[in-house]
Structure formats: C-alpha cells, structure tokens
C-alpha cells in the first residue's frame, strides 16, 4: 500500500472510530460536579504516564462519563513508554491479535490500524507487530480520541490538602508547576513501583562508563569490536545481546544464574478472561500461590529473539553462571563466576527492577505508610517469597491501603490507584501489560467512577431535586394541522 492510499485509509478509519463511538455514546456525558481549589480547576482524575496504560485509562474514564481528566508524562511527545527508547526487541512479545487501548471497539483495534496502514494482506502475513508500529498505533489512538496529554511533566511530589491531591511537576527547563486532583492513577509502567536494579557489587565497583542497565540509553555503535558481558536471563537481556551483536561486537557472553533458560511463558496461560477478570477476587493464599509460580517461571526470551542471538557465531550463553564479583583491571573488566574468571570490555545489566515504594519521589509522603504484602499476609512455611512480600497490598480498586487505618494520610492513599507492574500480586495481569489492559482498565475505571459518585452522593441528589426540565410540554391534543 502506497503512502497516499495509507493516509486516506487511516483518515477513513478515524472517521469510522468517531462514528462507532457516537453510536454507543449513551450515558457517557460528564456527570461529575465541577470543582475549584483557590480559583484553580480540580481534575477528577490525573493520570501519570502517557503510555498504553495511561491512554487506555483516560479513554475508559471518558466512556464512563468522566472526561475531566489529564494525562501527564515526563517524556516529549512520541517518546512515552519504552517502545522507541530502551525497548530493543524487533517486535512485541504478545501475539498480534491481543487488544488493549481499543477497549473492545473493533475500529480502534491494532488490527484495524495495521490493515488501514499496510493492507489486509499484510496483516494476514504478519507474525507480531513491530515496536515502532506499536508506538505509531498508540500515537494514532491518542490523536483519534483527542486525549488530553501534557508532555514534559515529571511528577516529583504529591501533597494532601482538604481532601484533594496537590501534584507537583518538574519540567525540562527546571521550572515546576502544580495541579489539583481528586484522584490519581499511576500508570508508570514496569518500574513504577520502585526502580531499575543494578547489583551493588557492580554499581559500587565499576565506573558507570563501563556498564549500562538494559533500561538505559546505550551507544551500541561504540561497542563495535568489544567483548560484551550480559547478565540476566530475561527477554530484555537477550534483546540487548542481539543488538550488540548486530552492531559489530567482537563477542557477547550472556550469563544467567538459572541452570537452564526458562522455556514456559506463563503469560500465555494468563491470557484468558477468567484470570484477567477475576484474579483479584481470589483469597490471599490462592493469589500468593499463583504469583509464586508465575514469578518462578518468569518470561523466557521469545523463540525469534533467541535465534536472533544464536545465529551469531560469536554469541554464547552460560547457564548456572552467576557473577560473584567484578573489578576493573586496566582497560578490562574481570568478572568472577563459579567456573572461573571472564574478561570483558563492557557490561550490560539485565537484572530487572526492585519493588520499593521508597524509591519513588512522588510517593515521599506515604511510601513507608503503605501496606505491603509482607504486612498483610504470612506465607505458609516453605512458600515464603521476599520479592512478592515487597509489593504493595492493594485494595480491590487498585488503591493503596494504609498499614495503620487511623493514619491521617489514609484517605490520600485511597485516592491513589496503582496501575503499574507492582499491582500484579494483588490485581493480576493488568496495569503494565498489553495482555491484561482491557480487563484491568474496566475494573479500574468502574471503581473510580463508583468512588466519585458515592463521594458526591448528596450533590447528585441535589441535582435531581433541582432538575426541572419539562418533557411533557403540551396538555392539549394536537390539531389536524399538527
């Protein structure tokens, strides 16, 4: 499909989306009373994060008659999320038929966009969607729906005053601004519950110019001819290994602690409506056992990603080979393992992230007051898991819960909804995953709407009492001419 035909097809598709939404617009008008604070507008919901989760949440709230929202993202327009920044896979890892930000609207699905852009035949031949196309699709969703997004807004603090959240943002020019909101949704992705993790024995021993985490910007061209060591068994570790190889690295050795590379992907099992809809309603022990198994399996590298590495003769992977220590020796990095020393010129660290709310500056006031799984749940002997215990124990509305119910900031915690990866033990596959997005957004937006309506119950009642719009406008029978 040529560029002109593609452009026209996308224009037609955009018009079809608008027509489809108009047909199902019943009862989606704004029903929330307007609020001001010190003469400033108060948002019903502020959404932090303009990636796929944030866009879908804003769309879901609008469909429930809550349009007084705003999305805030620290990145410039088009750079939200990982897809064109630190994601280095060739394609998404999810199957192409997975839906998400469309929330069940056929004309808004990735398939409809792809077919309009490339043609129906191209969709039939497609295996998985490229990450660049996914970002372009998200950009189209944002524009087609006219979602309100403020870029260059990094949330750095939140306060609580008279039942409202005061959000403080920092901008790239160093200036700050603020916004009042009744509710906040944290849609800040995988690291939104903590921070990316580099082990201390690396970060405290090696110059920061000699290593990079997989989430960082890496000048892969500068790695040409270099010996690269990669630590980690996840898909991102393999993605970065492949990228280094494709940029001319002399050799890449990937080391993992596990004695074998994971092969079973639990995410594929989780992609059923039962789990995606109702996991959060299970008893604590059952949820814990689900998550112990899922976290133990982890996600393996996709088959195509694995072969992307293995096709290079200068690639090797080493199972059962944790790094015990590292040191710099001249221009070289010496890594000690149970099987001896390995020598590299540069290290790529694929050790994921830690769940630690105290690492989030925006949660400064409440981080140490939020209830965690280890505060709420005691695992049976032999089923302990430190990582699971570090996750926040969320309420059924994705909201933070206080350790102490008498804490004056308990209402603040209830007004903050965690739609990040950290929600997984409590809510299942929802916030930071395409696979669970539609089901998670449905639960999240219904809960937020309920909270707002109940809080405004007296105002809603008064609105009814004040309602005085006549529907019956004539008591006389119509004349023949009428």
d(CA 15, CA 36): 35
What sign does the dihedral 179-184-190-192 (CA atoms) show?
A: positive
Residues 6+ positions from 113 with CB-CB distance below 8 Å: 10, 13, 137, 140, 141
Rounded distance between C-alpha atoms, residue 36 and residue 210, angstroms? 51
Segment 131-150 shows an average pLDDT of 97
pLDDT band at 327 (very low <50, low <70, confident <90, very high): very high
The mean per-residue pLDDT over the stretch 398-410 comes to 97
pTM here? 0.95
Examine the pLDDT at 26 and tell me if it is beyond 60.
yes
The answer to whether domain 3-193+355-461 and domain 198-263+300-351 are alike in fold is: yes
Residue 369, pLDDT score: 98
Side-chain-side CA neighbours of 139 within 13 Å: the count stands at 14
Residue matched to tokens 């405004």:
456
Q: CB count, 10 Å around CB of 390?
A: 18
Strand stretches in 149-289, DSSP E: 149-150, 154-161, 164-170, 176-186, 194-196, 211-213, 227-231, 251-255
User: Does residue 268 have a pLDDT over 90?
Assistant: no
Strand partners, 178: 168
pLDDT at 435: 86
171: tokens are 């901008």
What's the pLDDT score for residue 482?
57
Q: What is the pLDDT of residue 481?
A: 66
Domain boundaries defined on the chain: 3-193+355-461, 198-263+300-351
Using one digit for the tens of pLDDT, what is the confidence trace for 85-113? 999 999 998 889 988 899 999 999 999 99
CA distances from 128 to 82, 131, 153, 231, 298 (A): 17, 9, 32, 27, 21
| 440: its two tokens | 């998670």
| pLDDT over 90, % of the chain | 88
* % of the chain at pLDDT higher than 70: 99
Residue 479 has a pLDDT of 77
The CA angle 302-306-309, to the nearest 5 degrees, is: 145
pLDDT average, residue stretch 289-318: 93
Q: What is the rounded average pLDDT of the residues 343-367?
A: 96
Tokens of 410: 């308990």
pLDDT digits 0-9 by tens, 162-188: 999 999 999 999 999 999 999 999 999
Per-residue pLDDT tens over the stretch 433-456: 888 899 999 999 999 999 999 999
Binned at pLDDT 50, 70 and 90, residue 472 comes out as confident
Beta pairing, strands 164-170 & 154-161: antiparallel
Query: Among candidates 250, 258, 377, 262, which has minimal Cα distance to 321?
Result: 258
> pLDDT of 339-354, one tens digit each?
999 999 999 999 999 9
Given a cut of 90, is residue 316 above it in pLDDT?
Answer: yes
Confidence of residue 430 (pLDDT cuts 50, 70, 90): confident
pLDDT in tens, 188-199: 999 999 999 999
d(CA 230, CA 241): 7
In CATH, what is the architecture of 198-263+300-351? Answer: 3-Layer(bba) Sandwich (3.50)
Fold of 3-193+355-461: FAD/NAD(P)-binding domain (3.50.50)
Task: State the pLDDT confidence band at 5, using cuts at 50, 70 and 90.
Answer: confident
Average pLDDT value over all residues in the chain: 95
Length of the chain in terms of residues written: 482
The answer to whether 265 and 95 are in contact (CB under 8 A) is no
Lowest mean pLDDT among 186-200, 245-259, 419-433: 419-433
- Who contacts 192 (Cβ-Cβ below 8 Å, separation ≥6)? 49, 186, 360, 418, 420, 421, 422, 431, 432
H or E stretch at 354: strand 353-355
């Amino acid at each position: 499909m040529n560029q002109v035909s593609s452009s026209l097809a996308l224009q037609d598709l955009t018009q079809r989306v608008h027509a489809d939404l108009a047909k199902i617009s019943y009862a989606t008008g704004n029903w929330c009373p307007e609020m001001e604070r010190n003469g400033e507008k108060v948002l019903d919901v502020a959404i932090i994060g303009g990636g796929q989760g944030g866009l879908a949440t804003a769309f879901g709230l609008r469909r429930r008659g809550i349009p007084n929202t705003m999305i805030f993202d620290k990145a410039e327009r088009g750079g939200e999320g990982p897809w064109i920044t630190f994601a280095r896979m060739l394609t998404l890892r999810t199957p192409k038929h997975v839906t998400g930000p469309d929330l069940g609207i056929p004309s808004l699905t990735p398939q409809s966009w792809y077919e309009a852009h490339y043609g129906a035949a191209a969709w039939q031949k497609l295996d998985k969607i490229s990450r660049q196309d996914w970002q372009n699709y998200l950009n189209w969703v944002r524009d087609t729906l006219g979602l309100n997004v403020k870029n260059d807004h990094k949330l750095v603090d939140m306060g609580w005053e008279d039942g409202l959240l005061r959000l403080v943002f920092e901008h790239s020019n160093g200036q700050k601004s603020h916004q009042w909101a009744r509710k906040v949704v944290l849609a800040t992705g995988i690291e939104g519950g903590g921070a990316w993790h580099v082990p201390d024995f690396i970060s405290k021993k090696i110059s920061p110019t000699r290593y990079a985490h997989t989430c960082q910007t890496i000048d892969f061209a500068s790695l040409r001819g270099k010996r690269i060591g990669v630590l980690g068994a996840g898909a991102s570790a393999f993605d970065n290994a492949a990228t280094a190889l494709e940029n001319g690295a002399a050799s890449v050795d990937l080391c993992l602690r596990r004695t074998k590379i994971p092969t079973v992907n639990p995410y594929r099992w989780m992609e059923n409506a039962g789990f995606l809809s109702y996991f959060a309603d299970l008893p604590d022990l059952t949820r814990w056992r689900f998550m112990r198994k899922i976290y133990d399996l982890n996600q393996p590298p996709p088959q195509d990603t694995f072969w992307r590495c293995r096709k290079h003769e200068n690639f090797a992977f080493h199972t059962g080979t944790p790094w015990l220590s590292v040191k710099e020796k001249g221009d070289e990095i010496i890594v000690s393992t149970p099987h001896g020393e390995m020598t590299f010129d540069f290290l790529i660290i694929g050790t994921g992230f830690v769940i630690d709310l105290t690492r989030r500056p925006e949660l400064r006031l409440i981080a140490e007051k939020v209830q965690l799984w280890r505060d709420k749940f005691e695992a049976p002997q032999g089923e302990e898991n430190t990582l699971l215990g570090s996750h926040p124990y969320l309420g059924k509305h994705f909201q933070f819960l206080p350790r102490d119910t008498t804490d004056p900031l308990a209402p603040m915690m209830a007004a903050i909804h965690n739609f990040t990866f950290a929600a997984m033990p409590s809510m299942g596959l929802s916030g930071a995953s395409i696979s669970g997005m539609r089901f998670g957004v449905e639960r999240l937006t219904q809960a937020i709407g309920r909270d707002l309506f109940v809080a405004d119950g007296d105002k809603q009642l008064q609105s009814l009492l004040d309602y005085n719009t006549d529907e019956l406008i004539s008591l006389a029978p119509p004349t023949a001419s009428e």
